[in-house]
Amino acid sequence: MAAAIKKVGVIGAGQMGNGIAHVAALGGFDVILNDVSADRLKSAMATINGNLSRQIAKKLITEDARKQALARITATEKLDGLSDCDLVIETAVEKEETKRKIFNELCAVLKPEAIVASNTSSISITRLAASTDRPERFIGIHFMNPVPVMELVELIRGIATDDATFETSKAFVAKLGKQIAVSEDFPAFIVNRILLPMINEAIYTLYEGVGNVEAIDMAMKLGAHHPMGPLELADFIGLDTCLSIMQVLHEGLADSKYRPCPLLVKYVEAGWLGRKTQRGFYDYRGDKPVPTR
């Protein structure tokens, strides 16, 4: 039978982590937000407050709901602070060795019946689950960015994930007001299996000189009615994350069509990762974004 989730832990206070903490607290769950950096935790709480305030301005929530949500979130720099959580969602960098290390340390302090989830956007849930002491209580819960705005959550079962964990996770996501797409455990799941090759192809289009940054983004916004151009979207996601997902697809499916564009590799090597570093396919250091190519 599905268990009741009351307290939710979130590992990582970055863009995805603070977004998940935001929607979980707004959904009525007690939330423990964990990060090794006190500054990131402080910044995350400020971001959550700001995003809740924007929801008030749009008349999506009330001031009372904002106050209650903030009161439900507790920040901690220690994994020990997650020990009594019913569900813990990891949102660390998209590197398998980093996630495995976190799960190893987390399982040592977590109660045996707790569910562990990863917000990974591409890595095998089966493989991550095998690095824990509870593969049957491990699942992929992949939120979309920005979490408070995007309606979809992908649920991914590993080969060992049991029915109770799956049903409990479904009930948790439903309580957040999100829609669920169930994906099989294949590299990059559904959304990124389709989205990232499109972004990678847009980068190849730039690399080959078919069009410049502005032309490519304008073509897809006005020609395909996308709300954001693929290069602008890549900057928003983070070029390092885009590269990691393409590498997972290329290695996992062994098909040359998933080969990361050399220009994407070059930008990541330069440390031009998009919005988070102020430079990517656009330069964000001025009053308005300026294409870098």
Q: H/E element holding 45?
A: helix 38-57
121 is catalytic: yes
* Residue among 121, 122, 124, 183 flagged as catalytic: 121
142 is catalytic: yes
* Residue among 192, 200, 232, 244 flagged as catalytic: 192
Which residue's entry shows tokens 């190519």?
A: 293
Residues 6+ apart with CB under 8 A from 153: 141, 142, 143, 144, 173, 176, 178, 179, 180, 181
How far apart are the two ends of the chain, measured CA to CA in Å? 55
Q: H/E element holding 216?
A: helix 213-223
Question: What is the torsion angle, in degrees rounded to the nearest 10, for the CA atoms of residue 64, residue 69, residue 71 and residue 75?
Answer: -160
* Residue among 22, 90, 122, 142 flagged as catalytic: 142
**Strands 282-283 vs 290-291: parallel, antiparallel or unpaired:** antiparallel
Residues 6+ apart with CB under 8 A from 201: none
Task: Write the burial class of residue 63 (CB in 10 Å: 0-12 exposed, 13-18 middle, 19+ buried).
Answer: exposed
How far is the C-alpha of 143 from the C-alpha of 154, rounded, in Å? 7
Residue 102 gets the label, from left (phi > 0), alpha (psi -120 to 50) or beta, of alpha
Half-sphere exposure of 99 (CA within 13 A, CB side): 26
* Residue among 90, 94, 154, 232 flagged as catalytic: 154
Query: Are 218 and 229 spatial neighbours (Cβ–Cβ below 8 Å)?
Result: yes
Q: H/E element holding 31?
A: strand 30-34
Catalytic residues: 121, 142, 154, 192
